[in-house]
Amino acid sequence: MNSRKVVYLFFTTLLVGSISGTIVGFILEFNVYTEGSFLNMLFGIIWMIGISAAFSLISQMGFFAYLTVHRFGLGLFKSQKLWNYVQLILIAFTVFDLIYFRYVAFAETGETIWGYMVMPLLLLFYGIVIAFIKAKGTNKGAFIPALFFIVVVTTIEWVPALTVNDPKWLWLYFTPLITANTWQLLILHRLNNQSK
Contacts of range 82-86, beta carbons closer than 8 Å, 24 or more positions apart: 84/144, 84/145
Category of 165 on φ-ψ map: left (φ > 0), alpha (ψ -120 to 50) or beta:
left
Q: Domain segments of the chain: what residues?
A: 59-195
* Residue 176 CB coordination number (10 Å): 31
Q: Cα–Cα distance between 68 and 34 in angstroms, integer?
A: 44
Identify whether the C-beta of residue 151 lies closer than 8 Å to the C-beta of residue 124.
Answer: yes
pLDDT in single tens digits along all 196 residues of the chain: 678 888 999 999 999 999 999 999 999 888 888 887 888 888 889 999 999 999 999 999 999 999 999 999 999 988 889 999 999 999 999 999 999 999 998 988 888 899 899 999 999 999 999 999 999 999 999 999 999 999 999 999 999 888 887 888 889 999 999 999 999 999 998 888 776 5
Q: Cα–Cα distance between 94 and 112 in angstroms, integer?
A: 20
Compute the chain's Rg from CA coordinates: 18
- In this prediction the pTM is 0.91
Identify whether the C-beta of residue 7 lies closer than 8 Å to the C-beta of residue 49.
Answer: no
Category of 125 on φ-ψ map: left (φ > 0), alpha (ψ -120 to 50) or beta:
alpha
Cα dist. 125→22, 147, 150, 178, 190 in Å? 24, 9, 10, 13, 24
11's enclosing H/E stretch is helix 3-28
